[in-house]
């Protein structure tokens, strides 16, 4: 049975390290290390070379990781046909599946398919897509994912012009009284974590700043969890 992302409070800062920045020869061990360091989830970036100009990994890698790791698998599908591929990712071990509003499948059908397999559903949007594009689906989602880089590659610079979008989601979620996490993804680390949580994000994806932290992965995870105070005072 997939793990339920709603077991986590929307008032808690949650860390979801992106394995794209891991050493793939040491993938199993490095995933254990970030989970032991307190990361609540693992962020798994699936890219098809079509929706984004890069190819990462897919079902077999997730299947192998699942056998060795009990963390909540937060799968970010940057692929063109999320509806078609959802059952395969569920079978591989996904707990939560996020897809893009820019993909070609019908969003409501895709959400329904994800839910029917017992997973929670998320939607994401490119930096150029306005928050309002997801508003019609918010009531059905357990998480929205705000991209703070153009999707496709790890290690890019954080786009501060996306902060108002995070705030717009927080405002709408409060207004409707929804229990929906707000996740942020791309270039997140020490320099901007306070800003993203102050604007209302509570789930923090980070690849480079966790897996490549100069003082080790535990230090990278701690920097993100330490933003809890800033989040609390912004609420």
70 part of the active site: no
> Is the CB of residue 125 less than 8 Å from the CB of residue 138?
no
Cα separation of 94 and 29, whole Å? 19
Closest among 153, 185, 187, 184 to 55, alpha carbons compared: 153
Catalytic residue among 48, 185, 226, 229: 185
CA-CA distance, 209 to 190, in Å (whole number)?
8
How many angstroms separate the first and last alpha carbons of the chain? 33
> Annotated catalytic, 139?
no
Select 75 or 168, whichever has its Cβ closest to ligand DX5.
75
74: contact with Zn ion by CB under 5 A:
no
Using the minimum distance from each CB to Zn ion, give the nearer residue, 76 or 170. 76
> For residues 133 and 178, which CB has a smaller minimum distance to ligand DX5 in the complex?
133
Give 55's DSSP letter.
B
- Residue 166 and residue 200 in contact, taking contact as beta carbons nearer than 8 Å: yes
Question: Can residue 45 be called a binding residue for Zn ion (CB under 5 A)?
Answer: yes
# chain residues binding Zn ion, by CB under 5 A: 3
Instruction: Indicate which single residue of 38, 49, 155, 216 sits in contact with ligand DX5 (rule: CB under 6 A).
Output: 155
Distances (CA, A) of 102 to 1, 79, 125, 156, 219: 29, 10, 7, 21, 35
Site string for ligand DX5, 35-64 (x = CB under 6 A): --------x-x-------------------
Least distance between ligand DX5 and beta carbon 214 (Å): 14
- Residue of 45, 48, 80, 105 with catalytic role: 45
Q: What residues line the site for ligand DX5 (CB under 6 A)?
A: 18, 20-21, 43, 45, 76, 149, 151-152, 154-156, 185-188, 205-209
Active-site annotation, residues: 45, 185
């Amino acid at each position: 049975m997939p793990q339920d992302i709603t077991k986590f409070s929307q008032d808690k800062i949650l860390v979801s390290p992106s394995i794209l920045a891991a050493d793939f020869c040491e993938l199993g061990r490095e995933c254990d290390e970030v989970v032991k360091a307190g990361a609540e989830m693992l962020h798994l970036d699936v890219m098809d070379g079509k929706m984004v100009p890069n190819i990462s990994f897919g079902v077999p890698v997730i299947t192998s990781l699942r056998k060795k790791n009990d963390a909540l698998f937060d799968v970010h599908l940057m692929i063109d046909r999320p509806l078609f591929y959802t059952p395969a990712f569920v079978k591989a071990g996904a707990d939560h599946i996020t897809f893009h509003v820019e993909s070609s499948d019908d969003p409501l059908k895709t959400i329904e398919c994800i839910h029917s397999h017992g997973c929670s559903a998320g939607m994401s949007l490119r930096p150029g897509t306005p928050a309002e594009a997801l508003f019609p689906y918010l009531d059905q989602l357990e998480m929205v994912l705000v991209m703070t880089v153009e999707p496709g590659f790890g290690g890019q610079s954080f786009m501060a012009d996306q902060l108002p979008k995070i705030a717009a989601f927080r405002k709408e979620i409060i207004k409707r009284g929804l229990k929906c996490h707000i996740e942020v993804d791309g270039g997140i680390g020490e320099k901007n974590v306070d800003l993203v949580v102050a604007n209302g994000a509570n789930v923090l994806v980070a690849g480079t700043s966790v897996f490549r932290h100069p003082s080790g992965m535990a230090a990278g995870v701690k920097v993100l969890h330490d933003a809890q105070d800033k989040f609390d005072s912004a609420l």
